Chains A and B, each alone.
Chain A
C-alpha cells in the first residue's frame, strides 16, 4: 500500500521544537526529525525512546577490560615473564599497577569502537548505503519534521498539511513512498 509522507522544513531549531510541540499537542504522531545537530529537549516532545547505547558502551568496556586482562596475563605472566625494573612478573596481582594503563586504554578502545559500530549498524549507515535523509539541506542548516500518514490514522493528508502550515515552516513537501 502506498503511503504518503509529509516533510515540513524549518530554518531554526527553536521553531522546529515549537512546531513539534504544537503538532504533538494536536495529537499528531511525529515519526522523525532530521537535524544537522542534536536539539536539546526534542526527544521527550516527540516521544523518542531513551537510547540504550550507554548500556552497550558499558558492556563493551567491561569486555575490553576482560580481554586485556586475559591477554596481559598470558603475555606477561604465563608465556614470557620478564623482570622489569626489579619487579619480576611472577603473578598477575602484584604487578597489576603496571598493567592498569593498558587495561584502561583497551577498555576505552573497545567501548569507543563498539559504540561507533553499533551506532552505524543500528542506523544502517555503512559505507555505500543510500542516504536516508529526505533533503541534503538537513545536513547543513535546515530542519525537517517527518509525518507519516500511516501513523496518523485520525488525519487526512490535507489536515496534516494545514496543521503544518500553522507553524513557522519555510517549505512543505508531500511524497508518496511505496
Chain B
C-alpha cells in the first residue's frame, strides 16, 4: 500500500519515547525553585524569592545549613532573615489611602509582585589562620572586610578565590543552592510548547497541501501524499493542547492569567479584553479550529483516495474549490489561534503581527518536516518520481520562509522597540533580560544559518547540507515557540533541562510514528491527479 517503515525505525522511535519519558519523570522530580541573588560586595549578598506560596520551614532550615557550609571551613557565613512583613503592611496601608481610580492598577501590581516572600542578607566573614583570625573577625564593617581580605586570602582560603560572595552568588544562579520544586509549572508550559509546535507542523503541511490545490500547481504532486501523511498527525498536537486547555480551565495551571477571575476583576487591562478572552468564547474558538482543521484534513485524504480510484477531473476541481475555502478559514484561524493559544499568555501585550509571525514559523517547520520525510523515504527507495528538482524546490521554500520568519520577527521587534510603549515593550524586556542568549541565539540561528547555507543552488541540492542545517533550524524553531511561551508562564525562572529534553523526545517519537502510520495508509503517488505527469517531468 503506502510506505511501510521498517521495524527498526519503529523500535528506535519507541526507544526515543521511552527514554524521553524516563528523562521527563527524572526532570519532574528534580525541579528546582531558584532564589535570586544580588551581589552587594565581596562579603555581602542578598537573596530573595517571589514564590507566592512560601516555603516549608524544614526546607528553609535545610537550605540555610547548606548555604552556611557551602564555602567550607574557611569562611563564616551568617544569614540574616529579613521578613517582608513591614513592607507588606506599608503597601496595604497605601492601598487604603489610594483613590479608587488608582486601585485597579495598584492591585495588579500587588498581585504581580507581592513583595519577596523570602529575603536573606548573607554576610561572609573570612576565618583566617593564626594571627589573622582576630583581624578578620573584628573587621565587621565592609571597608575593613575588604582590607583584611587579601591577608585571609593569602594565608587561609586560597582555593576559594578572592570573592566568596560571588562564589555563593554563582551557586544560587546555577541552582546548586536552591529549593526543591514540587509544582508542575514547567510541565504545563512545556506541554503547551510541544503541543503548539507539533500541531503547528501538521497544520503547516495541511496549509501547503491546500495551497497546492488552490493555486493549481503542478510541480509538487508527487509530494502531496507526504504532506497528507504529516497532516494526519494532527490529533497528537490537538490532544496535547486540549489537555493543557482543560487543565487551565479547571484551574490546574495558571498559564492564562485571564482565566483567573480574581485577576480579571482587579486588572483593568485584562478586564477590558474579557469580551474576547473569556472561557466560553475561548472554548468555542478552540473547538472551531480543531473541528475545521480535522474536517478538512480528513476530507482531503478521503477525496484524494477516491480520486485514485475514480479518476477524472471532477474530484480535482472539487478539491480545488474546497481548498480555497480552507485557505480562507486558515487565514483567519492561524492568526486568531496564535492570539488565543500563545499571545494571550502575555495578556497585557498585543501585537497585530503576532499571528503572521507564528504562522511563518509554523509553515517553515512544516516545510522542513516535509523535506526530512521526503529525504528519508527517498533514501529508502520509495517516492520514485521525486527527483532532485522537487527537493530543490522544497529547499527553496525552506530558504524563503526562513526569511519571511526573520522579516516578521524583526518587523515586530523594530516597531515595538521604536515606539517604546510600556505595555508593548515589556514583552521584549522580559526576553532580553531573562532569555537573552536563548532569544537572540535562536534568532541568529534561524536567520543566519539558512541565509548563509541555503543561498547557493548546490547546497539546496545537497542532502547532507539539507539534513544537518534543516534539523538545526527545526530545533531552532522549537526554541522559537519556547521563547514565545516561557517568558509569560515561567518568567525568569525558566530552565532547560531533562524535563524539556525528555518531553520533546517523547512527542517527537510519537509524532514520527504517527506520520509513518499515516504514510502507510495510502499509496505515495496520486495516480489520477491531472498534473501528475507535469510533476514527474518537473525540471528546471
Is B111 interfacial (CB-CB < 8 Å)? no
Q: Taking the nearest CB of chain B, how far is it from the CB of A165, in angstroms?
A: 27
Residue with the highest number of chain A CB atoms closer than 10 Å, among B418, B419, B457: B418
Alpha-carbon distance A98/B457, docked complex (angstroms): 32
Contact B455 A58 (CB under 8 A): yes
Contact A40 B540 (CB under 8 A): yes
Is A25 interfacial (CB-CB < 8 Å)? no
**If A40-B539, A98-B414 touch, does A54 touch B419 (CB 8 Å cutoff)?**
no
Is B410 interfacial (CB-CB < 8 Å)? yes
Residues 125 to 141 of chain B near chain A (Cβ within 8 Å): none
Alpha-carbon distance A87/B417, docked complex (angstroms): 10
Is A86 interfacial (CB-CB < 8 Å)? yes
Residues 26 to 70 of chain A near chain B (Cβ within 8 Å): 40-41, 54, 58
Alpha-carbon distance A40/B218, docked complex (angstroms): 14
Is A100 interfacial (CB-CB < 8 Å)? yes
Residue of A nearest to B455 (CB): A58
Is B413 interfacial (CB-CB < 8 Å)? yes
Is B80 interfacial (CB-CB < 8 Å)? no
Residue of A nearest to B413 (CB): A97
**If A54-B457, A58-B455 touch, does A41 touch B539 (CB 8 Å cutoff)?**
yes
| Size category of the binding interface on chain B | 10 to 19
Contact B410 A100 (CB under 8 A): yes
Is B420 interfacial (CB-CB < 8 Å)? yes
Contact B420 A85 (CB under 8 A): yes
Residues of A within 8 A of B539 (CB): 40-41
Number of interface residues, chain A, beta carbon within 8 A: 11
Contact A87 B418 (CB under 8 A): yes
Alpha-carbon distance A58/B240, docked complex (angstroms): 44
Q: Taking the nearest CB of chain B, how far is it from the CB of A103, in angstroms?
A: 11
Residues of B within 8 A of A100 (CB): 410, 414
Alpha-carbon distance A133/B146, docked complex (angstroms): 87
Residues of B within 8 A of A41 (CB): 539-540
Alpha-carbon distance A101/B419, docked complex (angstroms): 16
Residues of A within 8 A of B456 (CB): 54
Residues of A within 8 A of B417 (CB): 97
Q: Taking the nearest CB of chain A, how far is it from the CB of B61, in angstroms?
A: 47
Alpha-carbon distance A146/B410, docked complex (angstroms): 50
Residues of B within 8 A of A40 (CB): 539-540
Q: Taking the nearest CB of chain B, how far is it from the CB of A58, in angstroms?
A: 7
Residues of A within 8 A of B419 (CB): 85
Alpha-carbon distance A1/B365, docked complex (angstroms): 62
Residues 415 to 459 of chain B near chain A (Cβ within 8 Å): 417-420, 455-457
Residues of B within 8 A of A58 (CB): 455
Alpha-carbon distance A70/B400, docked complex (angstroms): 28
Residues of B within 8 A of A98 (CB): 414, 418
**If A40-B539, A40-B540 touch, does A86 touch B420 (CB 8 Å cutoff)?**
yes
Alpha-carbon distance A100/B407, docked complex (angstroms): 11
Residues of A within 8 A of B413 (CB): 97
Alpha-carbon distance A166/B409, docked complex (angstroms): 58
Residues of A within 8 A of B414 (CB): 97-98, 100-101
Q: Taking the nearest CB of chain B, how far is it from the CB of A33, in angstroms?
A: 16
Alpha-carbon distance A50/B420, docked complex (angstroms): 49
**Binary interface encoding of chain B residues 184-196 relative to chain A, with 1 for a CB under 8 A from any of its CBs, else 0:** 0000000000000
Alpha-carbon distance A4/B504, docked complex (angstroms): 69
Residues of A within 8 A of B540 (CB): 40-41
Alpha-carbon distance A101/B410, docked complex (angstroms): 10
Residues 76 to 94 of chain A near chain B (Cβ within 8 Å): 85-87
Residue of B nearest to A43 (CB): B540
Alpha-carbon distance A94/B178, docked complex (angstroms): 36
Q: Taking the nearest CB of chain A, how far is it from the CB of B58, in angstroms?
A: 49
Residues of B within 8 A of A85 (CB): 418-420
**If A40-B539, A41-B539, A41-B540 touch, does A97 touch B418 (CB 8 Å cutoff)?**
yes
Residue of A nearest to B415 (CB): A97
Alpha-carbon distance A98/B419, docked complex (angstroms): 11
Q: Taking the nearest CB of chain A, how far is it from the CB of B531, in angstroms?
A: 15
Residues 285 to 307 of chain B near chain A (Cβ within 8 Å): none
Residue of B nearest to A14 (CB): B537
Residues of B within 8 A of A97 (CB): 410, 413-414, 417-418
Q: Taking the nearest CB of chain A, how far is it from the CB of B402, in angstroms?
A: 15
Residues of B within 8 A of A86 (CB): 420
Residues 96 to 142 of chain A near chain B (Cβ within 8 Å): 97-98, 100-101
Q: Taking the nearest CB of chain A, how far is it from the CB of B140, in angstroms?
A: 43
Residue of B nearest to A51 (CB): B457
Q: Taking the nearest CB of chain A, how far is it from the CB of B451, in angstroms?
A: 11
Alpha-carbon distance A78/B482, docked complex (angstroms): 40
Residues of A within 8 A of B455 (CB): 58
Q: Taking the nearest CB of chain B, how far is it from the CB of A92, in angstroms?
A: 16
Residues of A within 8 A of B418 (CB): 85, 87, 97-98
Residue of A nearest to B539 (CB): A41
Residue of B nearest to A99 (CB): B414
Alpha-carbon distance A10/B83, docked complex (angstroms): 92
Residues 442 to 486 of chain B near chain A (Cβ within 8 Å): 455-457
Alpha-carbon distance A100/B414, docked complex (angstroms): 9
Q: Taking the nearest CB of chain A, how far is it from the CB of B285, in angstroms?
A: 34
Alpha-carbon distance A40/B414, docked complex (angstroms): 41
Residue of B nearest to A44 (CB): B539
Residues of B within 8 A of A54 (CB): 456-457
Residue of A nearest to B458 (CB): A50
Q: Taking the nearest CB of chain A, how far is it from the CB of B271, in angstroms?
A: 30
Alpha-carbon distance A97/B414, docked complex (angstroms): 6
10 extra interface residue pairs, beta carbon distance < 8 Å, beyond A97-B417, A98-B418: A40-B539, A40-B540, A54-B456, A85-B418, A85-B419, A85-B420, A97-B410, A97-B413, A100-B414, A101-B414
Q: Which residues of A contact B (CB under 8 A)?
A: 40-41, 54, 58, 85-87, 97-98, 100-101
Between A and B, 23 residue pairs with Cβ closer than 8 Å are A40-B539, A40-B540, A41-B539, A41-B540, A54-B456, A54-B457, A58-B455, A85-B418, A85-B419, A85-B420, A86-B420, A87-B418, A87-B420, A97-B410, A97-B413, A97-B414, A97-B417, A97-B418, A98-B414, A98-B418, A100-B410, A100-B414, A101-B414
Q: Which residues of B contact A (CB under 8 A)?
A: 410, 413-414, 417-420, 455-457, 539-540
Query: Which 3 pairs show the lowest CB-CB distances between chains A and B?
Result: A41-B539, A40-B540, A97-B414
